């Protein structure tokens, strides 16, 4: 799975799909896409802000860019959570466990440990063959009884 295929899969085909599994390639290509889009919006806002006059408040073009950036972030937030849950499923971990690190981020230092734990989970390969969350995304032809 490549860059455009992963972005298309996550944003169009599996926009809010919280079941099934996501391969490492699907996850990391989408993360790269997500970071590049948000980085481009941030750079664009900074460039416009650099040429703006703030004596009369926030200039309308900058306000519009902030609004559009917020909408883009909002549109990409749900698929980011969905692909993270599917990545947990690929490691044979329930997606509900993603709530624990999210809540832990409110506690100093514990949040850092939670981020490292998520990073480790996302870097490790998924379980080979089917698991209780579905078939292996790398080898979907390997069919077996999951609940046997």
> For 73-129, how does the pLDDT look when each residue is reduced to its tens digit (9 = 90+)?
999 999 999 999 999 999 999 999 999 988 988 998 998 999 999 999 999 999 998
Q: What percent of the chain has pLDDT over 70?
A: 95
* Per-chain mean pLDDT for the chain: 90
**Every domain of the chain and the residues it spans:** 3-123
> Residue 138: is its pLDDT beyond 80?
yes
Residues 121-147: what's their mean pLDDT?
A: 82
User: Token pair of 101, please?
Assistant: 């690190």
Which band of pLDDT confidence, cut at 50, 70 and 90, is reported for residue 60? Answer: confident
Q: What is the distance between the alpha carbons of residues 101 and 68, in angstroms, rounded to a whole number? A: 29
| Nearest alpha carbon to residue 89 among 121, 133, 124 | 133
Q: What angle do CA 128, 14, 99 make, to 5 degrees?
A: 75
Q: What pTM was computed for the model?
A: 0.85
Helices (H), the chain: 3-8, 24-50, 60-90, 99-104, 110-123
């Amino acid at each position: 799975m490549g860059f455009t295929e992963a972005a298309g899969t996550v944003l169009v085909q599996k926009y809010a799909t919280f079941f099934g599994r996501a391969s490492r390639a699907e996850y990391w290509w989408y993360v790269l896409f997500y970071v590049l889009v948000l980085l481009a919006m941030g750079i664009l806002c900074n460039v416009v802000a650099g040429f703006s006059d703030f004596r009369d408040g926030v200039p309308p073009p900058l306000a519009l860019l902030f609004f559009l950036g917020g909408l883009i972030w909002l549109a990409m937030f749900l698929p980011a959570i969905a692909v993270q849950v599917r990545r947990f499923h690929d490691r044979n971990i329930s997606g509900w466990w993603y709530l624990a690190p999210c809540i832990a981020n409110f506690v100093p230092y514990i949040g850092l440990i939670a981020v490292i734990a998520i990073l480790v989970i996302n870097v490790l390969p998924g379980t080979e063959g089917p698991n209780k969350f579905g078939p292996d995304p790398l080898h979907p032809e390997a069919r077996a009884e999951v609940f046997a």
